[in-house]
Structure 1
């Protein structure tokens, strides 16, 4: 077994739970990691609230076949984490390195901004 990428040992549980749920395509479980008023920005679109986030996870998990490989996790502040992942699949370009920028509070993920790393 290989060691986790740098920073993953200290990743907040809610972030790890979201990443695991999204990777297995479990949109309801992934959406539950977010607060009711959370915002996700991905690929130029904004999704607000758990219902829109659940729909986004469902669509993004099924639109293409892909794998994610975590490469690093860095705490940027008391409530901010950046998780870098390599995504490989049958989407245009086939490989992309993405930075997932999470903002969290005691209730869950309040914001997620996904951009090329």
Structure 2
């Protein structure tokens, strides 16, 4: 089912908003204690590793970019969010998929890939 921004689960909106604002703590709060995040082909397991990944992701890096929500599809406990990014990173433009698997009110799996 196609989902607009306002129809996304609160935990997904909180994560995406915190990531865009480069705020790690609110982003971490929406994960289960045993969650796994896969980004750039690497798994980050548990809150400790996810916290370290978020710190790296949200810290001021050499790249600046803008993001735009372009759509989402919800199927059962899975939410696939697409974001369009433009910036000064290699390639300059990318559409990323954030595939969330929900466990009640929290996220227990996130895969980020083009």
What is residue 24 of structure 2 aligned with on the other side? 27
Measured in 2, the distance between the counterparts of 1:75 and 1:107 equals 15
Aligned-pair distance for 1:45?
0.8
Q: Is the 8 A contact 2:24 2:55 kept in 1?
A: yes
Give the TM-score taking structure 1 as reference length. 0.88
Give the TM-score taking structure 2 as reference length. 0.90
What is residue 17 of structure 1 aligned with on the other side? 14
Q: Any idea what the Cα deviations from partners look like across 1:18-49, whole Å, max 9, x if unmatched?
A: 11111111111101110000000011111011
Q: Any idea what the Cα deviations from partners look like across 1:50-100, whole Å, max 9, x if unmatched?
A: 121122122122332222100001102x21000000011221111100110
Q: Which runs of 5+ in 1 are unaligned?
A: 1-5
What is residue 40 of structure 1 aligned with on the other side? 37
Measured in 2, the distance between the counterparts of 1:89 and 1:59 equals 18
Displacement over 6 Å in runs of 4+? none
Measured in 2, the distance between the counterparts of 1:114 and 1:51 equals 18
CA RMSD between the two structures: 1.5
Measured in 1, the distance between the counterparts of 2:93 and 2:110 equals 21
What is residue 101 of structure 1 aligned with on the other side? 99
Q: How does 1:1-117 map to 2 (within 5 A)?
A: 7-62=4-59, 63=61, 64-76=63-75, 78-116=76-114
Aligned-pair distance for 1:107?
4.1
Q: How many residues align?
A: 111
